[in-house]
Amino acid sequence: MSLRTWLIEISYLVASVLFILGLRGMSRPESARRGMHMAEIGMLLAIVGTLVQREIISYEWIIGGLLLGSTIGLAMGLWVPMTAMPQRTALSHAFGAFAASLVGISAYYLYGAKLGGFKTGALGFEVLLGSLTTTGSLLAFAKLQGLVRGTPIVYKGQNVFNLALLAVTVFCFLAVLFYPGVQPFFYLMLVLAFAFGILLVLPIGAADMPVVIALLNSYAGLASAATGMVIGNNVLVIAGTLDGGSGFILSIVMCRAMNRSIRNVLFGAFGGVTDTSAAGTDGQMREVTFDDVAVQLAYARQAVFVPGYGMATAQAQHALRELGETLENRGVTVKYAIHPVAGRMPGHMNVLLAEANVPYSQLYELEHINPEFPSTDVAVVVGANDVVNPDARDNPKSIIAGMPILEVDRAKSVVVVKRGQGKGFSGLVNPLFFKPNCGMLYGDAKDSLSQLLQAVREA
């Protein structure tokens, strides 16, 4: 083995180990940053190992792509706000999947049937998953960015048509596998996969975006693993498999957090329901003032903040952290309750609160914080709706029945910071807002928390 080959293999081995350690580190908030740095170093080693191989024909295009990609990545890192991380993540999935598809398309164009049965199958799988992930991720980005309406877009016979399209696409894939020299099957599969990616995400509402993003991440990873098989790159196989496996597991975790199946997410059009009946929604919502809430918080023993998508859109995480610190200085125990599907991507609330320098030790997951609500003096819900809806627990006929929720209604007092009396993405009126221990503080989350902070200081 030559020195060059030895160095390449060592760089790939170290990169693979760092990917695994990085993924393990990102499983917990306190080690997530260290895990990300490990993954970054691993990717750098993988790139360096690839660039010193003899197969590289021209470095000019590689250097040009490296400079262009680095410039775009740096600009996105500096200018994309933390509240837009779901959209940026969806774009990253689209770019990665499209890169995998281009590798497969070029390999088939250059070699075709010469690749052999195994590589042809991996190539077809790569292009199939990569293509549908590209268009699906772009549509997810458009929905999250507001370029396309976030509610499900459905039409009669949609599921039947989508399944028929998928069947034809899989047939073309099998035809490529058994008859690799017949090019029309390959290019028809390519076009149908692009179309299926759009139709797959079209009926999915914004409430299901955490699951969709995780699932698309899984598809992009599997496409990358197949790319590694085609071009004989072991580190790409390992990284893609890790990405695909973790994305799929995360999709299952997100579905369990909503008490739904992946099949129901993909074909159930959640968020487009017309039945909005809910138990316990008689009466009026009770509006409270900043002074009332400030007195409750200032003299509480324990306060729990529940962030939601409304906090993200208002970019209120810094104001929330300032309010929490002010209460701590008054001797109040402050905790943050995090629901797995709050926001628009897995870990959305964790990312925003970390960006505002909220201590990791104050972040509590659903199963750990729920037992503490009965002893909590004040629970402050900031822009969350469905994840605190007691209908999921109390009404077996509800469309969200069985979905695990943050049981804020069990707290001694609940304050909901909300723009208005709108419904959640489930389309349900939240009976929490009508409970006698709940008060509504209407207004933009950032402005409301800033005014509440001032009122607490004066209390």
| 3-state DSSP assignment of residue 280 | coil
Smallest Cα–Cα separation from 215: which of 157, 276, 260? 260
Q: Which amino acid, one-letter code, is at 225?
A: A
- As given in the structure block, the two tokens for residue 367 are 């199963």
Extract the runs of DSSP E, i.e. beta strands, from 138-276. Answer: none
What's the CA angle centered on 141, arms 308 and 222, to 5 degrees?
Answer: 105
How far, in Å, CA of 54 to CA of 50, rounded? Answer: 9
Angle in degrees, 0-180, between the axes of helices 3-25 and 29-51, rounded to the nearest 10: 160
Q: Which two tokens stand for residue 162?
A: 């989508």
CB 273 within 8 A of CB 426: yes
- Total H helices, total E strands in the chain: 17, 6
Task: Copy the structure tokens of residue 135.
Answer: 């268009």
Q: Kindly state the tokens that stand for 18.
A: 């760092």
Q: Return the SS3 of 333.
A: strand
- pLDDT tens track, the chain, 459 positions: 677 778 888 998 999 999 999 988 887 777 888 888 999 999 989 888 888 876 667 778 888 888 998 898 888 888 887 777 788 888 988 999 999 999 899 988 888 778 777 888 889 999 999 999 999 999 999 988 888 887 778 888 888 898 899 999 999 999 988 888 888 999 999 999 999 999 988 888 766 777 888 888 898 899 989 988 888 888 889 989 998 888 888 888 878 777 767 776 666 554 444 444 555 566 788 999 999 999 999 999 999 999 998 898 888 999 999 999 999 999 999 999 999 888 777 788 888 898 899 998 999 999 999 999 999 999 999 988 888 999 888 888 887 788 889 999 999 999 999 887 666 665 678 899 999 999 999 999 999 999 999 999 987
**Residue 271 has what pLDDT?**
45
Strand ranges, E, within 255-373: 302-307, 333-338, 363-365
Whose tokens are 């900031």? That residue is: 382
d(CA 443, CA 289): 11
CA distance 449 to 298: 14
Distance CA 248, CA 216 (A): 9
Pairing of strands 333-338, 363-365: parallel
Mark whether 386 is an active-site residue: yes
Bin 284: left if φ > 0, else alpha if -120 < ψ < 50, else beta.
Answer: beta
Closest CA to 403 of 243, 288, 260, 275: 260
Phi-psi region of 315 (alpha: psi -120 to 50; beta: other; left: phi over 0): left
Which pLDDT score, from 0 to 100, does residue 131 have? 95
Does an H or E element contain 109, and which?
A: helix 85-111
**pLDDT score of 193:** 95
Report the C-alpha gap between 196 and 173 in whole angstroms: 14
- What integer pLDDT is reported at residue 272 of this predicted model? 44
Query: Which of the 8 DSSP states describes residue 287?
Result: B
96 exposure class (CB count in 10 Å sphere: 0-12, 13-18, 19+):
buried
| Phi, psi dihedrals of residue 203, rounded to the nearest 5° | -85, 5
pLDDT at 154: 83
Tokens 């509240």 correspond to 83
Query: For residue 165, with 0-12 CB atoms within 10 Å meaning exposed, 13-18 middle and 19 or more buried, which class applies?
Result: middle
Q: Which of 275, 291, 292, 386 is catalytic?
A: 386
The pLDDT value given to residue 169: 95
Q: What is the pLDDT of residue 188?
A: 95
293 within 8 A of 415, measured Cβ to Cβ: yes
List, in sequence order, the alpha helices (H) in 258-300.
262-267, 290-298
